Structure 1
């Protein structure tokens, strides 16, 4: 087995492995379509190995050379389309098909030209390079500019340049007088070895982008309450700490609220009705607390609102708005005319103390509101609003 054939086999196996991995990732990723396009692109491109061997050892190298060129081009176009979906840069199917047909037309025009001509390699590799550079541009022009995205763009750009490098190497080293002779040239060994490295690099970077996205989504789910749609205790505390860190030495406010007689709602109308109350209340306070507010469900029927850069008097007014909003809620599963009420505790947050001390004070004010008859707002230190 020649070195070029060995690299062809290696590239085939690498392509199949990455194809299988992306197929599995598509099950878990929100970018399912992009992952499947990556899987299909790498699978189709990996078939080039079989066609390259057919070119070398069959009696009809012309047909197999066309198939070998077409599988690489089709694989690159599919990868490009997957990248376009991943980065929100449209690449319609008709454009992808037109790109593939244009590349194949170039190949058909040049395949009878002398392979020893220096320009042959650039015309041959040109469509590959253009498709790859176009994919690079889609990443760079997207709104996503995280380090992983920049690295992917660099790897794609290098991959595009490598096609031009191979064209230059073909002019210097010679690609073989005929398609059949290619497999036995030193150029073939160099070309396939470079390709092996870049398949791994591009595959790993695309896999890293999808994997990190899956991790972000799962982390978000771990910090969000599925019933109310709000942040859970972990997510609320994390968001509050980040807000305090960004805002610096300023005064904030905290509101704690608890649904009144929630156990009685569950016992009388069923847990489904209770779930609907939680959902409706969470939706209401998220809508009315204000754009900068951080809202979370931190217990069974207990909710918290963090109001950055907010004086205590304003926070009390917000709590009163939420109290009235609860009374106006129409909740599926509850009889008409049933009024949901909630009690509220409000406290100021000192930047030096963080939010925990304010939460403790708001909690004490909340229990004061409960003892004071419910359906009311109490400010910390027992001062009724």
Structure 2
């Protein structure tokens, strides 16, 4: 078996392994259709390696040669499709079909051209290059601008450009006098070795993009409270610390809220109604505060609101608005005329201040409100002056 044939076998298994990995990733990623497109594209493209062996050793190489060309093109179209969906770029199905048919038409033109002609490789490799470079263009034109996205676009540009490089090498080194002779040429060894490197590079970059997305989703779940739709304590603290570490002299405020007599609501009407109260309260807070506020459910019936660049006096006004909002909530599980109340504690958070300290101060004010009769707003001692 020639060196090129060995590379064909190796590349086939590389493509097969990446296809299997993306099939597994599709189970866990929210981009399930994208991962499946990548898996299908790599699987189909890997079949070209077996087709090339058929070209070299079968008695009738023509159908194998057509399969070799078509599987690569179909695989690239599917990868382009997946990239387009991932980066929210248009790629209608009819366009995918049209690109594939146009590429196959170009291949049929190549069949009638002498393989020794210098332009043979460019006609042959041109559709591959166009599809891959178009995928790179979709990444560059998308709204996503992370370092990983730029790296993927760069790898796709290199991958698209390599088809033109191979066309040049074919003109210089010769692709073989016949399709069957290709596997025995030095050009085939160089071509398949480059292909091996780029399969790994593109596969790893696509896998990295989807893996980072999975990690981001899982991180979001870890910082999200599904019942209220707000951040949980961890998510709240992460978001607030990110905000207070921004440059500039800025003073903030925090509000702690606690639903009054919540245990009696659960005991009287059941935990399902208690969950409805929690959800309604979280929705009310989100509707009443400014868009730049950070809201979290940090305990069973306890909520926190961070108000960036807000004075203590204004924070008290916001807390009073929330107190009134709680009283006017309508929760379907509660009998008519039922009123839900909440108590509030307000504290300042100075520039580069400590969030934990501010939360403790607000907590003291909150329990002062509880002891003072509930359904009221109390300020931390340093704000009372």
Tell me the TM-score range normalised by the shorter chain: over 0.9
Following TM superposition, by how much is the alpha carbon of 1:356 offset from its aligned partner in structure 2, in angstroms? Answer: 2.2
Following TM superposition, by how much is the alpha carbon of 1:359 offset from its aligned partner in structure 2, in angstroms? Answer: 1.3
Q: Check whether the contact 1:365–1:382 (CA below 8 A) recurs between aligned residues.
A: no
> Which residue in 1 is equivalent to 2:67?
67
> Which residue in 2 is equivalent to 1:320?
320
Following TM superposition, by how much is the alpha carbon of 1:382 offset from its aligned partner in structure 2, in angstroms? Answer: 8.9
| 1:333 counterpart SS class | coil
Q: Check whether the contact 2:28–2:214 (CA below 8 A) recurs between aligned residues.
A: yes
TM-score, normalization by structure 2: 0.98
Unpaired runs of 5+ in structure 2? Answer: none
Q: 1:175-254 to 2 correspondence within 5 Å?
A: 175-246=175-246, 248-254=248-254
> Which residue in 2 is equivalent to 1:295?
295
> Which residue in 2 is equivalent to 1:358?
358
Q: Check whether the contact 2:83–2:139 (CA below 8 A) recurs between aligned residues.
A: yes
Following TM superposition, by how much is the alpha carbon of 1:110 offset from its aligned partner in structure 2, in angstroms? Answer: 1.5
- Provide Cα deviations, 1:54-101, integer angstroms capped at 9, x if missing partner: 111112211111111000000000000000001111111110110000
Q: 1:12 to 1:383 in 2, by over 3 A?
A: closer
Following TM superposition, by how much is the alpha carbon of 1:332 offset from its aligned partner in structure 2, in angstroms? Answer: 2.8
Mapped to 1, the partners of 2:270 and 2:54 lie a distance apart of 70
Q: Check whether the contact 1:260–1:343 (CA below 8 A) recurs between aligned residues.
A: yes
Mapped to 1, the partners of 2:345 and 2:242 lie a distance apart of 23
TM-score, normalization by structure 1: 0.98
Segment drifting more, 334-343 vs 149-158: 334-343
- Provide Cα deviations, 1:313-366, integer angstroms capped at 9, x if missing partner: 111110011111111111132212211110001111122432222211111111
Mapped to 2, the partners of 1:352 and 1:6 lie a distance apart of 62
Following TM superposition, by how much is the alpha carbon of 1:247 offset from its aligned partner in structure 2, in angstroms? Answer: 5.2
Q: Check whether the contact 1:113–1:120 (CA below 8 A) recurs between aligned residues.
A: yes
Mapped to 2, the partners of 1:283 and 1:4 lie a distance apart of 64
Following TM superposition, by how much is the alpha carbon of 1:248 offset from its aligned partner in structure 2, in angstroms? Answer: 2.9
Q: Check whether the contact 2:175–2:185 (CA below 8 A) recurs between aligned residues.
A: yes
Mapped to 2, the partners of 1:274 and 1:247 lie a distance apart of 41
> Which residue in 2 is equivalent to 1:51?
51
> Which residue in 2 is equivalent to 1:150?
150
| 2:318 counterpart SS class | helix
Instruction: Say if 2:121 is the partner of 1:115.
Output: no
Q: Check whether the contact 1:347–1:379 (CA below 8 A) recurs between aligned residues.
A: yes
Instruction: Say if 2:384 is the partner of 1:370.
Output: no
> Which residue in 2 is equivalent to 1:338?
338
Q: 1:130 to 1:115 in 2, by over 3 A?
A: same
Mapped to 2, the partners of 1:247 and 1:262 lie a distance apart of 40
> Which residue in 1 is equivalent to 2:10?
10
RMSD: 1.3
Q: 1:75 to 1:159 in 2, by over 3 A?
A: same
* 4+ residue segments displaced more than 6 Å: 382-385
| 1:353 counterpart SS class | coil
Q: Number of paired residues?
A: 385
Mapped to 1, the partners of 2:284 and 2:240 lie a distance apart of 20
Following TM superposition, by how much is the alpha carbon of 1:383 offset from its aligned partner in structure 2, in angstroms? Answer: 7.5
Instruction: Say if 2:182 is the partner of 1:171.
Output: no
- Provide Cα deviations, 1:206-256, integer angstroms capped at 9, x if missing partner: 000000010011011111112111111111111111111115322111100
Segment drifting more, 374-383 vs 263-272: 374-383
Mapped to 1, the partners of 2:233 and 2:305 lie a distance apart of 11
> Which residue in 1 is equivalent to 2:37?
37
Q: Check whether the contact 1:345–1:364 (CA below 8 A) recurs between aligned residues.
A: yes
